[in-house]
Amino acid sequence: MRLPEPALRLMAAQYGVIARNQLIRAGSSSNAVDGLVHRGGLEAVQRGVYRLPGSFTPPEQVGMAAVLRAGDGARLAGERGLALYGVEGARSSGVPVVVIPPARRVERADFTVRRTSVPACDRAVVARIPTLRMERAVLELARTAHARRVLQVVDSARWLGLLRRERLVRRARDLPAHPGARTVLALLAGGALGPESAGERDLQALLAALPGHFEWGVDDVLPGVRFDAYERAARVALEYDGERDHTAERDMFADRSRELRVREAGIELIRITKDMLRGEREVTRRRLATILAARSATVGNDGSAPRPAAG
């Protein structure tokens, strides 16, 4: 017996797997499904989830099969869920993690099951697989992952434009009892969520010994311009140039145009490189202290543009 055409189309859309109830809704009877499995026309990849024997097994198929096995309301989480977004270091292998509604139970599964409420604001479908929005995905990862791994995911997601610090913090505060939310809020309290990369966190440690108060991710000074760190009183902006420098001609032109706007606004823009933080750390600290002192003497108390020197 051939599978109904609707079932084959659904399998193609689900990385080659289909649930038993989906087969029945597509036109197969329960006895027909059992017969196909008995004769080798279908093979079980999870309890009640099947695929064609010998077919290709992409990593997404494993995650999709786990979601189908977990039933209505299930969503892929953990590293496999993050891999759907293309987050740096996310592994599309290993044991899947699936979140299910608190009222559901999944017994004898060969994947990790977490029972937790996932409201509509936390739901997403990525690469045709039900998963979590990035903010909630980070909170779920933070249940068990080391803080360093959580920061790596946050850095990558922010760089990819998939996550905003404000939204992550707001979601964590909305779920104060969530174990992952507590981890994220602890990182926030420690200042780790301000900078967007490990290099910027090294810069943060350097600036801690300097006078003034640097804010991170400032975008309310000039329209369309975001500073990695900004000291408002002295009007000093810092940019960390690690391994994400622009090399394309169009990008370099945009950088030069941006720098011109910044300097015309009376803001001192300083680029900090990885080498300056590693091999020239003390020299860099002294240079920044000198610049801050000089700027504080020439910039208005309200952070206005530098005052002209007396003639």
Domain 1-57 class in CATH: mainly alpha
Question: Is the CB of residue 107 less than 8 Å from the CB of residue 143?
Answer: no
pLDDT of residue 236: 92
Structure tokens at 183: 């981890």
The pLDDT tens digits of the residues spanning 77-121 come to: 999 999 999 998 898 888 999 999 999 999 889 999 999 999 999
pLDDT at 76 over 90: yes
Query: 90 near 82, Cβ under 8 Å?
Result: yes
pLDDT tens for residues 182-219?
999 998 887 777 666 667 777 777 877 788 788 877 88
CB within 8 A of 52, min separation 6: which ones?
A: 11, 16, 41, 42, 43
Distances (CA, A) of 225 to 165, 221, 230, 239: 17, 8, 12, 12
pTM above 0.75, yes or no: no
User: Where exactly are the structural domains of the chain?
Assistant: 1-57, 58-193, 198-298
CATH 3.40.50.2300 assigned to domain 198-298? The reply is no
Per-residue confidence (pLDDT) for residue 246, from 0 to 100: 43
- Residue 251 confidence (pLDDT): 46
